[in-house]
Amino acid sequence: MACKKGANKRLFGDDFSVGGQKVSPEMSQMNLFEDDDKAEVGAGAATLNTIENTEHNYIFVNDAKGRKDLISLLEKTKEFAFDTETSSLDPLTCEIVGMSFSTEKGNGWYVPINEDDASWKDVVNEFKPLLEDPSKTIIGQNIKYDIQVMKQKGVQIAGTLFDTMLAHYIIDPDGKHGMDDLAMSYLSYEPVSIETLIGKKGKKQGSMKDLDPEKISDYASEDADITLQLKECFAPEVKERNGSKVFHEIECPLVYVLTDMEMEGIRVDKDFLSNYSGELQKELGERQEKVFELAGEEFNLNSPKQLGEVLFDRLKLDPKAKKTKTGQYKTDEATLQKLGKDHEIVESILDFRQLTKLKSTYVDALPQMINPSTGRVHTTFQQAVAATGRLSSYDPNLQNIPIRTQKGREVRKAFIARSDEFEILSTDYSQVELRIVASISGDEAMIEAFNSGMDIHTATAARVYGITPEEVSRDQRSSAKAVNFGIIYGQGAFGLAQNLGIKRTEAKEIIEQYFTKYAGLKQYMDDVVKKARETGYVETLTGRRRYLRDINSANFTVKSFAERNAINSPIQGSAADLIKIAMIDIHAEMKKRDLKSKMILQVHDELLFDVHLSEKDELKDMVTDLMQKAMKLKVPLVADAGFGANWLEAH
């Protein structure tokens, strides 16, 4: 079968049978298939088929009759691949240029749309009932994008989804999930590149909108065709790898949730940020002057290279200064911190660094990301990037808004409710990863600690130091907290020592005590690594797998890294599964109750809502309840909630 990773490695010519294909009447434009002009094959080289040498029937549908026939054909099929062509990559502002469909291997239809024509909406509306039919299965590659485009154009896709990108993410989360990569790996096929249509990436790249629709047609139909073929390929593979539940019940339904959250966006207070930018600028100038004065010269303080040379070549602050692998001096926070507090310059440099980061990454960047038509910022959640199963957020990244420092936290005041009839609700899981590790490992002591409702770090300290919870000191609690976190990441004595600023031997003792008291945890960590060695993968609570190819590596460092992944991935991944389930449940319930409030953000263990004042109590109760019930663990799940005019107040 062509449907196998690495199929592209095989010699050309052994998988050309397209037999068994039904040929529909529409296949009148069949391109004749030539199989004798590509016989030269480099030894071992990948040989890819292309549109030029592959049987296909792609149809350009540019009149009312053609569309009517296509729609009635699609209405008779239970599932089809769907793709949109657009004028840009932003689904909220782009124009739609066309839609393509495929129902079986080798076929495809392209329906051009021109938003400059008065009748463009009529064309879209002809397809509306079909696309809004909840009984269809709609197959797409990164279908969230197409759903958003269509929603923007007034069509609410509602069917069961099969996203080939997400399917491959389930099959191999560490892999690449782009369509071209997938087509080459699994179908031995190299799709027409978008660059042949609109030019190379960069400023000069053209737009689909400016092309002759007929020129787009084959490219677009091919995309739908390939997507359909990938679906055929991935569906059994997902099942084979125990991924049916996480794929069909979590990832695909989540697409609709993320669609709505992204399109909803979040309101950002431009004036507040503009004021704050001024304040930061003022302080930045002061810090920089201070540094230059103490250094005795001016230089680019944003350049780690120049800074390192000033500190270590000129001022000779540390004769044993560490260098990076590229030969520069290390100047990161930990390094500078160690130089000692006696150097006044260090404090000013670190202040400058913090202020620069805040200003450039957040305070100045966010207002520029406000969508002029909604007045809100709309992040994109990536669902197939983090190998553990977590989401990521970009453009802007709203999952790394500062909170640790006072000056950083201020930024959160800029995230505000949509109007004075709304407030922000923040709900977050308490200690979710530790609860999950307690549950997965079955460690009696940790389960008991959570069941007692005690503060977990205090409970841990009491155990490790053999004292009562009341006797636990601040230092003991923070040591215990550091170990608890270290456990999740597979940290060793070295890391813990560094973290706590203690000797390695001390750290080692603490860890040993820890594992004596939480023997079940130690057992879990050993077991999961052993399981990874035997099977080659680890799994989350929903069956989400991560393959760890390096788990038996002869290279100590590489193997150790894989072992830490073996420990961490099921924990982090199960937490990701958990909140995704909660999001799907909450989204469904909000829709069912037809609430005015909206879910707007997810930050790994936290959800953010824009809440109508009339729904405050109802929503808070419903959300925390569904979060806590999302999975049944051996320990209680606890979700906390808070309201505020802005994100800082609510959290």
Of 367-406, binders to DNA (CB under 7 A) are 382, 385-388, 390, 392-397, 399-405
- Smallest separation (angstroms) from DNA to the CB of 393: 6
Q: What is the footprint of DNA within residues 217-236 (CB under 7 A)?
A: none
Which residue in the set 9, 240, 494, 614 belongs to the binding site for DNA (CB under 7 A)?
A: 494
Contact in structure between 424 and 610 (CB atoms under 8 Å): yes
Q: Look at strands 537-539 and 545-547 and give their pairing.
A: antiparallel
Q: Look at strands 160-163 and 137-140 and give their pairing.
A: parallel
Q: Which is nearer to DNA, 71 or 182 (CB)?
A: 182
- Smallest separation (angstroms) from DNA to the CB of 275: 19
Number of residues lying near DNA (CB under 7 A): 74
* By CB under 7 A, residue 486 contacts DNA: yes
Burial class (CB in 10 A: 0-12, 13-18, 19+), 128: middle
* By CB under 7 A, residue 303 contacts DNA: yes
Q: What is the footprint of DNA within residues 574-613 (CB under 7 A)?
A: 603-606
* By CB under 7 A, residue 492 contacts DNA: yes
What secondary structure letter does DSSP report for 388? T
What residue spans of 324-424 are helical by DSSP H?
333-339, 344-357, 365-368, 406-409
What is the contact mask toward DNA in residues 230 to 269, using x (rule: CB under 7 A)? ----------------------------------------
* By CB under 7 A, residue 360 contacts DNA: yes
Q: Which is nearer to DNA, 8 or 569 (CB)?
A: 569
CA distance 53 to 32: 9
* By CB under 7 A, residue 308 contacts DNA: yes
Q: Which is nearer to DNA, 361 or 478 (CB)?
A: 361
DSSP codes, 14-65: SS---TT----TTGGGPPPP--SS-----TT----B-GGGS--EEEE--SHH
- Smallest separation (angstroms) from DNA to the CB of 85: 22
Which residue in the set 408, 478, 553, 634 belongs to the binding site for DNA (CB under 7 A)?
A: 408
CA distance 276 to 391: 30
Angle of helix 444-451 relative to helix 432-441, nearest 10 degrees, comes to 140
Which of these ranges, 52-60, 325-333, 536-544, 629-637, lies near DNA under the rule CB under 7 A? 325-333
* By CB under 7 A, residue 564 contacts DNA: yes
Residue with the two structure tokens 């490790």? 464
Which residue in the set 202, 296, 319, 372 belongs to the binding site for DNA (CB under 7 A)?
A: 202
- Smallest separation (angstroms) from DNA to the CB of 472: 21
* By CB under 7 A, residue 356 contacts DNA: yes
Which residue in the set 328, 374, 478, 628 belongs to the binding site for DNA (CB under 7 A)?
A: 328
Q: Which is nearer to DNA, 27 or 92 (CB)?
A: 92
Q: Which is nearer to DNA, 507 or 622 (CB)?
A: 507
Closest residue by Cα to residue 258 from 35, 626, 579: 579
Closest residue by Cα to residue 193 from 202, 181, 185, 204: 181
CA distance 471 to 72: 75
- Smallest separation (angstroms) from DNA to the CB of 202: 3
Cis, bond preceding 469 (omega within 30 deg of 0): no
List Cα–Cα distances, 265 to 8, 330, 601, 611, 649, in angstroms.
42, 39, 8, 13, 19
Which residue in the set 76, 201, 341, 474 belongs to the binding site for DNA (CB under 7 A)?
A: 201
